[in-house]
């Protein structure tokens, strides 16, 4: 909570904005055409594969420990939404319930401070991986939309003009 308060008290524009092209970060400033976007999409997709492997590694590393609590980490694909990287969710082993409510119940029942810290550590790691997955999924979705728009613009340029009066 203290960290949130400190963030609120910081001046809003205390970061350095690049002034020259060589200092610009991808995604924050214009690319040099469709080729740059395609290259960036390839990089993001490579990172997505590494991130998904990290999620599976997280589940494999901690699920033997979590089994004791009737709890597991499930790597859940959400391809219906067009997500490239799945999300890591909490899941009950015997009753198959999912979500933070399941984790909360287990966490509140744990008495040992060491066990509570370990569960907290796992939850922090899960949250950070899911955040990265969300950024990759949103960036990928936006890149694909932009590329579709560029393709449409290219098609319009190649099409023969219609002779006539333009009306609304």
CA distance 120 to 56: 19
Residue 106 lies in a domain: yes
Residue 153 lies in a domain: no
**Percent of all residues in the chain with a pLDDT value above 90, rounded to a whole number:** 57
Residue 119 lies in a domain: yes
Residue 25 lies in a domain: no
**Of residues 16 and 129, more confidently modeled:** 129
Q: What is the pLDDT of residues 59-113, one digit of tens each?
A: 999 999 999 999 999 998 876 666 789 999 999 988 878 888 889 989 999 999 9
pLDDT of the residue at 4: 53
pLDDT of the residue at 98: 84
**Of residues 131 and 80, more confidently modeled:** 131
DSSP string, 102-139: HHHHHHHH---HHHHHHHHHHHHHHHHHHHHHHHHHHH
Q: Number of structural domains, the chain?
A: 1
Residue 16 lies in a domain: no
User: Residue 113's domain spans which residues?
Assistant: 33-145
This prediction has a pTM of: 0.74
């Amino acid at each position: 909570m203290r960290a949130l308060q400190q963030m609120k008290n910081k001046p809003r524009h205390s970061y350095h904005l690049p002034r020259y092209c060589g200092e610009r970060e991808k995604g924050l400033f214009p690319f040099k055409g469709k080729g740059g976007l395609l290259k960036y999409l390839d990089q993001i997709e490579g990172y997505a594969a590494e991130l998904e492997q990290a999620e599976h590694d997280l589940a494999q590393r901690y699920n033997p420990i979590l089994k004791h609590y009737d709890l597991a980490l499930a790597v859940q694909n959400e391809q219906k939404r067009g997500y490239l990287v799945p999300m890591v969710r909490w899941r009950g082993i015997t009753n198959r319930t999912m979500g933070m409510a399941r984790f909360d119940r287990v966490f509140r029942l744990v008495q040992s401070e060491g066990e509570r810290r370990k569960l907290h550590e796992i939850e922090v790691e899960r949250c950070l991986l899911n955040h990265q997955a969300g950024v990759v999924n949103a960036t990928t979705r936006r890149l694909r939309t932009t590329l579709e728009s560029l393709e449409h613009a290219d098609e319009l340029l190649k099409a023969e003009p219609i002779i006539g009066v333009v009306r609304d």
